[in-house]
Amino acid sequence: MLIGSCLTLLLASFTAFARNSEKAQGEVLRLHILPHSDSSEDQNLKEQLRDFIIAGTKNSFADAQTLDEAMQIAAINLAEIEKKAQTFISAQGYDYEVVAELVNMHFTTRVYENITMPAGNYAALRVTIGEGAGRNWWCVVFPPLCLPAVTTVSSSEVYFSPEVSEIIETDGKIEVRFKVYEWWLRVFG
C-alpha cells in the first residue's frame, strides 16, 4: 500500500509537471540558428549572424503580448529577416544560401543562464545557413530572453505565469524531472 501511495504521488507530480511544461511550450517563440558546418569559421559566422538578427529584431517583438501575436510578427517579417540575413552572410564573404522559416520543432531540455526550458515541441524562427549541418544556437525571442535582454531580467515571472516560472527557473532538482519528462516523451509521445 505504501508503494502504491508513493507511485500515485509520483505520477500526480509528474502529470502536473508535464502540464506546466506544455504550457511553457505554448508561450514561447525560439530563435534557432543552424550554421553550415562545425568548422570554427562557420561557428563564428553563426554567432555573428545571431548578434545581427537579435539586434535587428529586438524591437519587432516588443508589442507582442501572446505567442500568436509574436508568430504573426515573425510571419510578416520573415522574408525581410531572410533577405537581411542573406545580405549579411554575403557581406562577410560567404556564398551560403540562407533560409528563414517558422517551424514547430522538438527541442531537448536546454539550460540558458538561470532558465531551463523543458523538452518539447516549440514554435521557432529557424534560420539555416548553407547546409545547416553544424552545432546550432538558440534563444527565446518571445518573451525576449535572448541576450542582452536576459541579463536585465532577474526572474522569469516578468514574462511567464508563476506555474511556468516554477518549471523553468533552474534549481538542482528540476534537471532530474526534465530527464524523466524527456524519457516519457520519447517512449510515449
Residue 31: helix, strand or coil by DSSP?
strand
Instruction: Enumerate the domain spans of the chain.
Output: 27-188
The answer to whether the CB of 28 falls within 8 A of the CB of 142 is yes
Verdict on whether the full-model pTM lies above 0.75 = no
Mean pLDDT, to the nearest integer, of 125-142? 95
Cα 90 to Cα 96: distance, rounded to the nearest angstrom: 8
Please say if the pLDDT value at position 177 is more than 60.
Answer: no
Mean pLDDT, to the nearest integer, of 128-154? 77
Residue 54: helix, strand or coil by DSSP?
helix
Proportion of the chain above pLDDT 70, given as a percent: 65
Q: Which H or E run contains 180?
A: helix 174-188
Q: Express each pLDDT in 33-86 by its tens digit.
A: 999 999 999 999 999 999 999 999 888 888 899 999 999 999 999 999 999 999
